Structure 1
């Protein structure tokens, strides 16, 4: 991703803290996406890279280990994956807008913000709080390193490009994470 927008490059830390730092980045990027004073195209590209990298790293490393450690239930982890898929679908609508100065773009950003903000709140309450309370520092540090490594690799691989987001949405539909009619 070629952008001046700083997405951070953590290499280690408590996984809960790293995820919360990304949640703060999401909120800042959403605010910038809503602002006509921003380079909205650069912001949507940055948001796409962060959203995909963050979700892929959580699903590959964090959710499975937290399930194994009994910090979260299978249903909570699956719900998180469902919400990531919904976020990707809303993100795809933003990426597919030809311009950033249309009502269609504003409406797509509004839907993206709704979906992402809902997920951030739920994840913080049902996954991150139990992870903080029920797992030891060592496991959170191991998960932090795995999360950061995968997240950075995904960003380096340009995971937020529209073709990849479209592929992820189609895959989620095939696996029943998103209804075909949505």
Structure 2
């Protein structure tokens, strides 16, 4: 398994897509899939913001505005995730609507992040530095997962703490 932070982030992005496909399947165990998505999404965002984004902002050829915008989009994602988690009935139309809002927000973020921040990181940040960032990213992500960061109470607190980032 690669330790390159770009590869690790991209692998999480592909996992989000797999989980969304599962969540759209009405015959799937949506509760279990949502729990996995919630935990991974929160852990991923927090690891990016604590380890990756601050480091990338120090590189002149990585766009600081895009990095800041990525953090804003994480906050939007936390709001959309919380809205989905708060709908109790996974078979309801409201749940379907909230799922699509989360999918749309996350797909938008992933697309922008991959085209801007991650492309810049791959071309401008040395391999050994990307590997070090990858190790730190994995470490923080695992710490958050171990803290049950996908729990609704955790997501509720995070959404409240980051609400001021949203334009």
Instruction: Return the structure number with greater helix share.
Output: 2
Question: Which residue of structure 2 lines up, in the alignment, with residue 49 of structure 1?
Answer: 39
Whole-Å separation in 2 of the counterparts to 1:164 and 1:115: 20
> Displacement, 1:71?
4.1
In the TM superposition, structure 1's runs of 4+ consecutive aligned residues that sit over 4 Å from their partners are none
- Matches for 1:25-36 after TM superposition, within 5 Å: 25-36=15-26
Rounded Cα–Cα distance in structure 1 between residues aligned with 2:21 and 2:78: 18
Gaps of 5+ in 1: 1-9
Q: Name the SS for the 2:136 alignment partner.
A: helix
Change (3 A) 1:122 1:39: same
**Is 2:166 the counterpart of 1:178?**
yes
| Residues paired across the two proteins, number | 167
Give the alignment's Cα RMSD to 1 decimal.
1.1
Give yes or no for contact 1:71–1:135 (8 Å, CA) kept in 2.
no
- What is the DSSP-based 3-state SS (H/G/I as helix, E as strand, rest coil) of the residue aligned with 1:68? coil
C-alpha contact 1:67 1:73 (8 A) present in aligned 2: yes
Mapped to 2, the partners of 1:75 and 1:109 lie a distance apart of 28
**Could you tell me how far apart the structure 2 residues matched to 1:178 and 1:17 are?**
28
Secondary structure of the 1:160 match is coil
**Aligned equivalent of 1:66:** 56
Deviations along 1:60-83, whole A, 9 cap, x unmatched? 000000111234232111100000
State the match for 1:125 in structure 2: 115
Q: What is aligned with 1:76?
A: 66
Mapped contact 1:85–1:172 kept (Cα < 8 A):
yes
TM-score by length of 2: 0.97
* Residue equivalent to 1:169: 159
Alignment partner of 1:86 out of 76, 80, 103: 76
CA distance in 2, matches of 1:134, 1:50: 27
Conserved in 1, the CA contact under 8 Å of 2:75 and 2:159? Answer: yes
